[in-house]
């Protein structure tokens, strides 16, 4: 049986984000609305990281005997065979590495409004959900959650548009990336 690619997984998770964001928007019952919003956020974050890992694996596979062999091995074969290198700990560090590999401008991406919005609406909230602490209660259970779930698709698309411009990567068509959009 053929293996699915990270792009396929990114696609699946992105559509799950869209699905759960729509379910949240139309849900009246608060417990279900929160559940759907949480899954939308987690799905958008997972989709983006799968795509980012796909780019990194592709770029490191083309470098024979390179200093990033540990990155390639982890992204190609995963655990338990390989442990994740420290350079893959955060989305920021992955973007910085991708910039080095593509000879793109990762600093411009990280300083962009698109990254800041994605970081606040998706990454930060995903981390608060997965690494829950009582001090995060209002974000994980409040209106921030629902607003972020509703804006997650556009935040993802805008960041990918920025990456396309600055890092010379081509986002898969399923993301609908053409140019930066507004959160309306």
Phi then psi dihedrals of residue 119, to 5 deg: -60, -45
**pLDDT at res. 179:** 52
**pLDDT at res. 8:** 85
Q: For the chain, percent helix, then strand, then coil, each to nearest 5? A: 75, 0, 25
Q: Determine the 3-state secondary structure of 2 from DSSP.
A: coil
Q: What integer is the mean pLDDT of 89-108?
A: 95
Contact 91, 56 (CB under 8 A): no
Q: What integer is the mean pLDDT of 98-103?
A: 94
Tens-place pLDDT, residues 139-171: 667 788 899 999 999 999 999 999 999 999 988
Structure tokens at 184: 């309306």
Tens-place pLDDT, residues 54-75: 999 999 987 766 788 899 999 9
Identify which has the larger pLDDT, 133 or 145.
145
Contact 21, 36 (CB under 8 A): yes
Considering the chain, what is the average pLDDT of its residues? 87
Identify which has the larger pLDDT, 3 or 54.
54
Distance CA 11, CA 50 (A): 9
Whole-number Cα distances in Å, 181 to 16, 70, 101, 122, 155: 21, 36, 27, 16, 8
Q: What angle do CA 159, 165, 170 make, to 5 degrees?
A: 80
- Note the pTM of the prediction, 2 decimals: 0.87
Specify burial of residue 134 (Cβ count, 10 A radius: 0-12, 13-18, 19+).
exposed
Nearest Cα to Cα of residue 118 among 52, 56, 19 = 52
DSSP letter at 122? I
Q: What integer is the mean pLDDT of 33-38?
A: 95
| Buried/exposed 32-66: b ≥16 CB within 10 Å, e otherwise | ebbebbbbbbbbbbbbbbbbbbbbbbbbbeeeeee
Total count of residues recorded for the chain? 184
Residue ranges per structural domain of the chain? 6-175
């Amino acid at each position: 049986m053929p293996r699915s690619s990270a792009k396929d997984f990114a696609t699946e998770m992105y559509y799950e984000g869209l699905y759960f964001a729509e379910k949240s928007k139309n849900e009246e019952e608060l417990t279900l609305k929160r559940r759907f919003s949480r899954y939308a956020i987690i799905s958008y974050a997972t989709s983006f990281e799968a795509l980012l890992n796909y780019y990194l694996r592709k770029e490191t596979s083309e470098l024979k005997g390179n200093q990033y062999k540990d990155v390639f091995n982890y992204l190609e074969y995963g655990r338990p065979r390989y442990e994740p290198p420290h350079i893959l700990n955060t989305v920021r560090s992955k973007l910085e590495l991708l910039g080095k590999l593509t000879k793109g401008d990762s600093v411009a991406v990280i300083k962009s409004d698109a990254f800041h919005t994605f970081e606040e609406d998706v990454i930060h909230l995903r981390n608060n959900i997965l690494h829950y602490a009582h001090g995060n209660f209002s974000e994980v259970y409040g209106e921030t959650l629902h607003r972020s779930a509703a804006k997650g698709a556009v935040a993802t698309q805008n960041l990918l548009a920025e990456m396309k411009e600055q890092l010379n990567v081509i986002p898969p068509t399923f993301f609908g990336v053409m140019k930066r959009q507004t959160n309306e």
